[in-house]
Structure 1
């Protein structure tokens, strides 16, 4: 196996979570492992900026997010609004967990092909807990965050960002 076929998933502070093989679609799209699970790459950053808590941020950012078969993301929250947008490769089950101190499993929204009865988009309010659930297929979505995403505004309840 070529070295570029391997990747390292790390915590926000850089500790190694796991070494893993890059899925073919992650290689094709140039995606990297996300600390929460799944694979991602920022594809756009707004040239407009906004002030957020004394810092300057892009008005919005956009990523591609891949969940390979059987993979999920752990409970996490972002202090900005997040919009999940179907990108044509399998639906993804997005579970919301409220806005309390700890996530409480709640509504699940399946983001995917509207022609198959799925939501083509889903909005996660600022500060709401969210996670994705495993599926028997690959799923690809785009996620738009406004104000723009910054790991400083990203919270995960456990050390490696994933719930067992």
Structure 2
């Protein structure tokens, strides 16, 4: 990077500014933007095949990069489609599930990472309609998320940006 990096706006789904954040070198290299839930993302693929859902037509599946820098977390959110997380590293990522009720209830924590002997997994499935969030860590983690039927912000509910 040459010179200082300018902050960019993290926005709600509706476009309101949540906060100003400075992208990491990796976020810049991968062309990522701030996600409303926290972290950084970019859609990298959408299936050509289309499926009908209750909320309209969606690609059969979509794929994103999702980067979580050190100390950052994502807020509780729920998606109306299955979401498959694929770990790329370098550090582990703690993914907490929160049930399928009207509001999240802190539950199982799945650790995505490369240390299988310690119980880490390279993949994790968050079923449609299950609340989820990532917890902060000391390191940086890159994952990919496959959503099927494909992701749309119309199918996304954010519970809160600051959660206990």
Runs of 4+ in 1 over 4 A off after TM superposition: none
Number of the residue aligned with 2:7: 6
Separation in 1, partners of 2:28, 2:9: 14
Q: Where does the alignment leave 5 or more consecutive residues of structure 2 unmatched?
A: none
CA–CA distance in structure 1, aligned partners of residues 115 and 43 of structure 2 = 25
Aligned ranges for residues 43-62 of structure 1 at < 5 Å? 43-53=44-54, 55-62=56-63
2:64 corresponds to which residue? 63
Tell me the distance in 1 between the aligned counterparts of 2:55 and 2:138.
43
47-56 vs 105-114, greater mean Cα deviation? 47-56
Residues paired across the two proteins, number? 161
Change (3 A) 1:72 1:59: same
| 1:80 aligned partner | 81
TM-score scaled to structure 2, two decimals?
0.93
Residue aligning to 1:157:
159
Q: Deviation of residue 140 (structure 1)?
A: 0.7
| Aligned position for 1:132 | 134
Distance 2:37 2:117 in 1: 28
Structure 1, unmatched stretches of 5+, are: none
User: What is the RMSD of the two structures over their aligned residues, measured on CA atoms?
Assistant: 1.5
